Amino acid sequence: MTNLKISALEFVEEAKNGNISVEDFIGKTLERIDSVEDKLHAFLSINDKALDQARELDKKIKSGEDVGSCFGMPISIKDNMCIKNSKTTCASKMLENFIAPYDATVISKLKKQDAIFIGKANMDEFAMGLTTEFSAYGPSKNPWNTEYVPGGSSGGSAVSVSSFECVASLGSDTGGSVRNPASFCSTVGYKPTYGLISRYGIISYANSIEQVGPLTRTVKDTAFMLNLIAGIDPNDNTTVNNNNEDYLANIDSGIEGKRIGIITDMMGDGIDPEVLTATKEAISKLEGLGAICEEISLEMVKYSVAAYYTITATEAGSNLARYDNLRYGYDFPVEGYEFNSYISKARRNFGPEVTRRMIIGGFVPSAGHAGKYFLKAMKVKTKLTKEINEAFKKFDLLIAPTVPVLPFKIGEKIDDPVSLFLIDINTVTANLTGKPAISIPFKIVNGLPIGIQLLANSMNDKLLLQAAHALEQTVTLPEVPI
């Protein structure tokens, strides 16, 4: 009996030993996808060559060839990452027919390790959103309760991992887009230090703060994935040298004696009492493991969401300007149009959230307004970074709930963009300051998951994963009811 619920580490060990036939596992995964996709809609497209690739890999191992360390593992990929000769839509009508002509760096690294990309995961259009409701192809559903949102923007990634449609996934995190759905779907979701993973081939939304991040079933799986995709990339000038760090080694070092700061500004007004309780439980568990926890206030956090939306809208306005439908895009002939009227017409195919942010992005950095908005936002970013750097002089790690509220119903907040914005308050700090952060599944309350977030200083990703692993070991969670 094929166990689709297996962790990534277990999978590759069994597959390499020949105890799992890749063909069988991929076949069963595709069956699973077939049977649950109607309810979940985690995928925008499925790799129709997955079974052929699986058979090739089985042959490879039978003939005694060397195999990659991600051998035969089905991975879902957020649909904003380029896989050569595959559709990459960003869940947008604008890129409905865009076939990527090259592989993203993370994709080519995983390809080399014999991974199988089982499908492209649903997301909010161009990663703008935190519910996956802004996908132009319809929302994904939370496998814990399909009336609820799975979080976003990497909603499809989180759903596919938590509902066993794949073993692991790659998402991208601009303001919480990996951690938020991980928290809502009860998976591990990690945003590394800015520059640790190459962004080459990831379709930019807000390039100065976003990162690729794995979504997995265990913290160890995240460390395993990180080992495969982290490191300097000549194609991305913002990548940093990690000296080939092994994030899996000594992952069970524990957190004895580590100092952890509790970010009070992320547990104030508007927090759901259940989330607050869960966070307090997590803190006492960490203390039980020998950590020293103490409250800390980051004053700038209260301005962080405003700064985040100002900066991301500015960058998005520029990054998405290339979607003029001239070189690629959807079917809309140019004949009879003057250039400017064509592009303004073509760009009406952006969805409501993207349009909203493009309009903001045209305004906040414009001459006469930049001083009041964009430059002020940049000041907040600088001050927040200073503040968190000070905090890390005193603490090894920081803790807060990943999302201050429980998952909510689909449609519940879609018409209230401002209340949606505020849900980002606990996640954007890591992006604005470039720090690594991780969401760990911690509790299920009334059938809905709660994740706990840990943050560490830049390039302390290994310490962060060790702490996350320690916390993860303290809880046993029920299985997803789908």
Q: Report, as residue numbers or ranges, the catalytic residues.
A: 78, 153, 177
Which segment (40-48, 113-121, 309-317, 408-416) binds other proteins by CB under 8 A? 309-317
Q: Can you tell me which of 63, 340, 446, 476 binds other proteins, judged by CB under 8 A?
A: 340
Do residues 452 and 477 lie in contact, with contact meaning Cβ atoms separated by under 8 Å? no
Q: Is 203 in the site for other proteins (CB under 8 A)?
A: yes
* Identity of the residue, 38 or 335, whose beta carbon is nearer to other proteins in the bound complex: 335
Q: At which residue do the structure tokens 């009879």 appear?
A: 336
CB of 131 to other proteins, least distance (A): 23
Q: Is 332 in the site for other proteins (CB under 8 A)?
A: no
Q: Is 236 in the site for other proteins (CB under 8 A)?
A: yes
Q: Is 405 in the site for other proteins (CB under 8 A)?
A: no
Q: Can you tell me which of 162, 193, 314, 466 binds other proteins, judged by CB under 8 A?
A: 314
Q: Is 45 in the site for other proteins (CB under 8 A)?
A: no
CA quadruple 40, 448, 148, 127: dihedral positive or negative? Answer: negative
Output the DSSP codes for 433-466: HT--EEEEEEEEETTEEEEEEEEE-TT-HHHHHH
* Identity of the residue, 101 or 288, whose beta carbon is nearer to other proteins in the bound complex: 101
Q: Is 321 in the site for other proteins (CB under 8 A)?
A: yes
Do residues 113 and 228 lie in contact, with contact meaning Cβ atoms separated by under 8 Å? yes
Do residues 22 and 71 lie in contact, with contact meaning Cβ atoms separated by under 8 Å? yes
Which segment (28-36, 90-98, 112-120, 269-277) binds other proteins by CB under 8 A? 90-98
| Phi and psi, residue 326, nearest 5° | -90, -40
Residues 153 to 192: which contact other proteins by CB under 8 A? none
Give me the sheet containing 43-46, strands edge to edge.
43-46, 116-121, 74-78, 168-173, 211-216, 188-191, 437-445, 448-456, 397-401, 259-263, 292-296
Which segment (101-109, 292-300, 382-390, 444-452) binds other proteins by CB under 8 A? 101-109
**β-bridge pairing 292-296 and 259-263:** parallel
Cβ neighbors of 454 (< 8 A, separation 6 or more) are 260, 397, 398, 399, 437, 438, 440, 464, 467, 468, 471
Cβ neighbors of 332 (< 8 A, separation 6 or more) are 325, 345, 346, 349
Q: Can you tell me which of 22, 77, 115, 202 binds other proteins, judged by CB under 8 A?
A: 202
Q: Which two tokens stand for residue 128?
A: 């703008």
Q: Is 337 in the site for other proteins (CB under 8 A)?
A: no
Q: Can you tell me which of 16, 51, 56, 102 binds other proteins, judged by CB under 8 A?
A: 102
Q: Can you tell me which of 35, 97, 366, 419 binds other proteins, judged by CB under 8 A?
A: 366
Do residues 263 and 399 lie in contact, with contact meaning Cβ atoms separated by under 8 Å? yes
Helix, strand, coil % in the chain, rounded to nearest 5: 40, 15, 45
Q: Which two tokens stand for residue 237?
A: 């000038």
Helix (H, G, I), strand (E, B) or coil at 409: strand
Q: How many CA atoms lie within 13 A of 81 on its CB side?
A: 33
* Identity of the residue, 268 or 362, whose beta carbon is nearer to other proteins in the bound complex: 362
* Identity of the residue, 311 or 399, whose beta carbon is nearer to other proteins in the bound complex: 311
In the chain, the N- to C-terminal Cα span, in Å, equals 18
Q: Is 241 in the site for other proteins (CB under 8 A)?
A: no
CB of 52 to other proteins, least distance (A): 26
Do residues 432 and 173 lie in contact, with contact meaning Cβ atoms separated by under 8 Å? no
CB of 158 to other proteins, least distance (A): 22
Q: Can you tell me which of 328, 355, 414, 475 binds other proteins, judged by CB under 8 A?
A: 328
Do residues 450 and 442 lie in contact, with contact meaning Cβ atoms separated by under 8 Å? yes
CB of 203 to other proteins, least distance (A): 5
Q: Is 104 in the site for other proteins (CB under 8 A)?
A: yes
Residues 205 to 224: which contact other proteins by CB under 8 A? 207-209
Q: Can you tell me which of 11, 98, 117, 373 binds other proteins, judged by CB under 8 A?
A: 98
Q: Is 238 in the site for other proteins (CB under 8 A)?
A: yes
* Identity of the residue, 137 or 184, whose beta carbon is nearer to other proteins in the bound complex: 137
Please count the other Cβ atoms lying within 10 Å of the Cβ belonging to residue 46. 17
Go through 69-93 and write b for each residue having 16 or more CB atoms within 10 A of its CB, e for each that does not: ebbbbbbbbbbbbbbeebebbbbbb
Please count the other Cβ atoms lying within 10 Å of the Cβ belonging to residue 120. 26
* Identity of the residue, 381 or 462, whose beta carbon is nearer to other proteins in the bound complex: 381
Which segment (11-19, 76-84, 127-135, 282-290) binds other proteins by CB under 8 A? 76-84
* Identity of the residue, 90 or 410, whose beta carbon is nearer to other proteins in the bound complex: 90
Q: Is 343 in the site for other proteins (CB under 8 A)?
A: yes
Q: Report the distance separating Cα 229 and Cα 199, nearest Å.
A: 11
Q: Is 359 in the site for other proteins (CB under 8 A)?
A: no
Q: Is 318 in the site for other proteins (CB under 8 A)?
A: yes
Q: Is 385 in the site for other proteins (CB under 8 A)?
A: no
Binding residues vs other proteins (CB under 8 A): 80-82, 88, 90, 95, 98, 100-102, 104, 199-204, 207-209, 234-238, 314-315, 317-318, 321-322, 324, 326-328, 339-340, 343, 362, 365-367, 370, 374
